[in-house]
Every structure is written in C-alpha cells, then in structure tokens.
Copies of this chain bind each other. A is one copy, B any other.
Amino acid sequence: MANAPMHTLYSMQDSGNCYKIRLVLALLGIPFKLHDIDILKGESRTPEFLAINPNGRVPTFKLDDGRIIPESNAAMWYLAEGTDLLSDDRYTRAQILQWMFFEQYSHEPYIAVARFWLHIMPGGRAEKTNDDIAGWMERGNQALQVMETHLTDTDFFAGNRYSIADVALYAYTHMADHGGFDLAPYPAIGAWLDRVRTQSGHVTIDWRPDVS
C-alpha cells in the first residue's frame, strides 16, 4: 500500500521534541513520511511552513487526512489513544499528563534549551551569559531531582507501566549531557533510561522511517 495516504511528520532530526513523535510512531508500528525542517536555516519560518503551523515550530504532525497537530505532546497523545502507551484509567491519564506538563514547563526549558545553545546552535555559547548557563543548571537539576525522587519508588512515571509520559521525559533526559548535565548523581534516572531503551520497538534519535 505504498500509495495509501500516510501521516507526515515535519521534523528536525536533532530535536528531542521531534524524536518523541518518531519514537511513538515506531513503537506503534505506524508508517509515516518524514519531512525535514532545518530550523537553523529558517525553514520553520517560511510562508509555506507558517501556513501549516502559524506558531512556526517543529514538530508539526500532519494526519493522513491533512489535519494538523502542532505540539509534540498533543501529537503523542493522539497517537497513543487506545494503545498501551496511554491508559484506560482516569487517574493514570491525569498522571501521564502531569508528567508531560512537568516536562514542558520544568524540564525542557532548561535541559533542552541548554543543549540547543551549547551543542546544536553553531556559536550559540557566545550568545549566552554565564548567568544563563547557571540558571539552566540550577533549574534543570531541580527537575532531575524531582524525577530521581519519583523513580526511587516506581519503574515508570505513571501507572507502573511504560507510557508516553516516559517517552516525553526520555527525549531530552537521555542526552542531557549535551547541555552539560551530569546524570551520575541520579542512579534511579540511569536505571529508568535503561528500562526505556530496552522496550520492544525502541529506536534511537538517529532512526528514520524507511519510506521514499
């Protein structure tokens, strides 16, 4: 069915937010097309792309019927409904969302942003002050400590089972060292990263779907 309509992911390969959706699609065995958008070349700010997502961000997920879902965590939720990556239990769903909002508010703005300026953006270090970096370190380590405390008692973030809450937090945590974070003081996080990596169907951030 090579010509059947397929979902399309507008994605930058290096982005952890984009990786989240690729990982969920791989885990669920859902075929999709990848459309590369290089934000460093301004490709998320072209008129063509802003017509797709007026907020000018990747990932942007386009369903096979043409409807658009911006925001990585919203697209993961859409894909995971009815699968083992979400839950039939109302309280577990709230816990999954709790950790996904934690990730976007208390984790990503420090751990992913540090990685962007120190590792992804050429010359990015020179644009930031030592105070910027100290702030990322302080708040990022606070987020890691919240995760460490939680994972001391449980194997996964919600419902005692691998879910999209784990995918959301795995994306930038597993490459936190790119932003200068040291995970050695967080052994429960280390063990959880290993549990995520050994899930059936796991793919790394380099993985791309095999479609033309």
Chain A residues within CB distance 8 Å of chain B: 54-55, 63, 67, 69-75, 77-78, 81, 90-91, 93-95, 97-98, 100-102, 104-106, 108-109, 146, 149-150
Q: Which residues of B contact A105 (CB under 8 A)?
A: 71, 104-105, 108-109
Closest 10 CB pairs of A and B: A78-B94, A74-B97, A74-B98, A71-B101, A71-B98, A104-B105, A74-B94, A69-B94, A55-B146, A73-B101
Contact between B71 and A102, CB atoms less than 8 A apart: yes
CA distance A108 to B73 in the complex (A): 17
A-B contact list, 5 entries, CB within 8 Å:
A70-B102, A71-B105, A73-B101, A74-B94, A75-B94
Contact between B74 and A81, CB atoms less than 8 A apart: no
Contact between B104 and A90, CB atoms less than 8 A apart: no
Kindly report how many copies of this chain are found in the complex they form together.
Answer: 2
- Partner of A70 from the list B77, B78, B90, B98 (CB cut-off 8 Å) is B98
CA distance A69 to B109 in the complex (A): 22
Kindly provide the distance from the CB of A144 to the nearest chain B CB, expressed in whole angstroms: 12
CA distance A102 to B105 in the complex (A): 10
Q: Which residues of B contact A55 (CB under 8 A)?
A: 102, 106, 146
CA distance A116 to B71 in the complex (A): 26
Contact between A95 and B109, CB atoms less than 8 A apart: no
Contact between A109 and B106, CB atoms less than 8 A apart: no
Contact between A54 and B91, CB atoms less than 8 A apart: no
A102-B55, A104-B105, A146-B54 known; A69 vs B95 contact (CB < 8 Å): yes
CA distance A38 to B69 in the complex (A): 37
In the complex, what residue of chain B is closest to A101 when comparing beta carbons?
B71
Chain B CB within 10 A, most for which of A72, A100, A106: A100
Contact between B71 and A91, CB atoms less than 8 A apart: no
CA distance A69 to B93 in the complex (A): 11
Kindly provide the distance from the CB of A10 to the nearest chain B CB, expressed in whole angstroms: 14
